[in-house]
Amino acid sequence: MKHVRWDTALGVVVFVDMLRVLLPSLITLFGQAGGTPPEYMGLFALAWFLPAMAVPWSVSIVSARKIALVAGCGLIVARIVMQAGDGGERQLYTAGVGVALGLVWLTATTTDSRDTTAVLRGLLAGLGIATMLHAALADIDLAWREPAFAVPLLVVELAAFGVLLLRTRPGTSTAHAVLPLAACGPVLLLWGMFLGNTAHFHRMGGVVAVAAGSAATVLWVWWPTGRPRSRRHRIVAAAVLVAAVGFLSIDGLDTAYPGLGVVVTLSALFSVAVLLREATTVDDPVPPSRRGHVTALSMLGFLILTFAYYAAFDLGYPNWWVPPLTAVFIGIVGVAGTDVGEHAVKRPAILPVAFTAAAAVATALVAPLWQQSSPPGNPPPDGLRVAAYNIRMGYDLSGRLALDRQADVLAALNAHVIALSEVDRGWFLNGGHDNLRRLADRLDMELVWAPADGNHWGDAVLTNLKTTGVKRHTLVDGGPTGAQALELTLNHRGSPVTFIATHLQPPPDWEPLAQVEQLARIVADAAETGPVVLAGDLNIEPDTPPWDVLFDAGLTDPFARPFPTMAGDAVQQIDHILVTGRFDVYDAANPDVPYSDHRPIAVTLFLEEERYSR
């Protein structure tokens, strides 16, 4: 398509690869999963976004074309180095360098281009292609894949970008619109959070919704341009975008009508295509450096908005307003374009559009077939085998995505029911993976989800037992992050057992004890009807005041102490499986594996009548 910069599109795909590694590495490696103050993390991230700010001032010394070539080639090298890495600080700094080079390349490209319309359409096309690739890979990026699978595909991706990088020259068009470039960063954020988030689509409608979302991003790859729309059309598109994003950020993933969430997301995606395609047809000659300034500032805005949203989970302030405000900004940028009639271009041929859409649907539908299952577990036929695991959003101690290895460890514990803590279901900050769906599919177990703070982060239960009742309790505030208690009634050998999964978030020094006291009341109420099992990351050490509160509610500790629950040499005992007095316990396990900063724990429970029937 003549009016798309395909070098920009493929460069964006590579840049997104690096961004999807840097963002979670900020949390798991630099941030130590909450151990580093958010302001330090923000300053560290800012260091990688600032070099792009120097590009517009550098073009008086070195041409923007040369800067783009050098930075683009550096981006390719950084992507190769990252694929060859094994996590740790090398991963953190390689991803940071790669993101910095990607931003320099993008800023230099917009500075050099005489047709910002084509560049911006290239950005949208790149995000569309990245969505289709993410869907085809079942949300697990090439960076986390085994070399035998990832390397051939990566070679094709990088070779195509490299060839186009060397061959593409700025066009001779006189369309010099600069304002639409201000939307680059905000669009990237909304794309990562909602519009191109395949985990988000899967939650709302399964693999069919993923296929629909993937096909819809063809709009961003082959946008059927024709007669430019009026400003009135763009105002309508802006209103639709703001309303859709507001719905998604407040209630979209938890609505009782999942199909509605899919429709709303697709309408927002279409609105972005209308707004930015139409706005970029304005003649607005400006100095080349101004295009670079606007692009660099826009991407800096992406960083600021990202931290404004996600830092709230550590600092405890409301963040629901960030996505709608971002949508409002994109709408203003889109509406600000003037009506023209001279720059209409031909519609693309129907065949490429149809072929791309069909390929997107096909790859999304077959992606689940590529996923392997963990070795089957073998739960004991008589006792109730219970496990708990804080999975740290799916990342291991080296900062690499370890969901499949976590699933294998859980399978080896042979549990009937598993309590999961720190479950991420599509946070862009963590790479856009649905931890829960991946683990449930690998283990072939049913899932029950319990959002604890927002609708992407929380706790969950996996089980192969029949669930006859579900209650979700919102716990009172403790730490800055929200907490909940998920209460299930399970049918075990014909008898009901109450299973409660939680991840407590204590205030400093557990003062006050309100959150654990509320949990104790929930346990006591459930114990009136039968045996109770409480499992999860309680953030409570044995023989402390909050521990005594739980024991006063009738719970007992089945483990011989000490029983460390943190990975490595750490001696903390904060993950627990506590039971009411009607259980006998056997076969306690806490394997020291490096796939999270916590160990998985497990125990087999026998009701008193089971003990005498063995």
Cβ proximity of 566 and 598 under 8 Å: yes
Which whole number is the average pLDDT over 248-257? 70
CA distance 422 to 389: 9
- Alpha carbon distance, N-terminus to C-terminus of the chain: 72
CA distance 59 to 287: 11
pLDDT of residue 77 exceeding 60, the answer is yes
Q: What is the pLDDT of residues 264-293, one digit of tens each?
A: 999 999 899 888 875 555 555 667 788 899
Q: What integer pLDDT is reported at residue 399 of this predicted model?
A: 95
Which whole number is the average pLDDT over 118-143? 89
Higher pLDDT, 136 or 537: 537
Instruction: Report residue 244's pLDDT band, with 50, 70 and 90 as the boundaries.
Output: very high
CA distance 470 to 28: 32
Q: What integer pLDDT is reported at residue 228 of this predicted model?
A: 53
CA distance 542 to 355: 61
Which whole number is the average pLDDT over 189-209? 89
pLDDT of residue 155 exceeding 80, the answer is yes
Instruction: Look up residue 497 and give its DSSP letter.
Output: E
Least trusted range by pLDDT, from 3-7, 257-261, 523-527: 257-261
Instruction: Report residue 261's pLDDT band, with 50, 70 and 90 as the boundaries.
Output: confident
Please report the sign of the dihedral spanned by the C-alpha atoms of residue 22, residue 28, residue 32, residue 36: positive
Q: What integer pLDDT is reported at residue 549 of this predicted model?
A: 97
Q: What integer pLDDT is reported at residue 1 of this predicted model?
A: 45
Q: Over pLDDT 70: what percentage of the chain? A: 89
pLDDT of residue 342 exceeding 50, the answer is no
pLDDT of residue 224 exceeding 70, the answer is no
Higher pLDDT, 112 or 38: 112
pLDDT of residue 28 exceeding 70, the answer is yes
Q: What integer pLDDT is reported at residue 202 of this predicted model?
A: 85
Q: What integer pLDDT is reported at residue 378 of this predicted model?
A: 85
* Summary mean pLDDT of the chain: 88
Q: What integer pLDDT is reported at residue 338 of this predicted model?
A: 45
Helix (H, G, I), strand (E, B) or coil at 565: coil
Per DSSP bridges, beta strands 575-580 and 555-556 are antiparallel
Instruction: Report residue 329's pLDDT band, with 50, 70 and 90 as the boundaries.
Output: very high
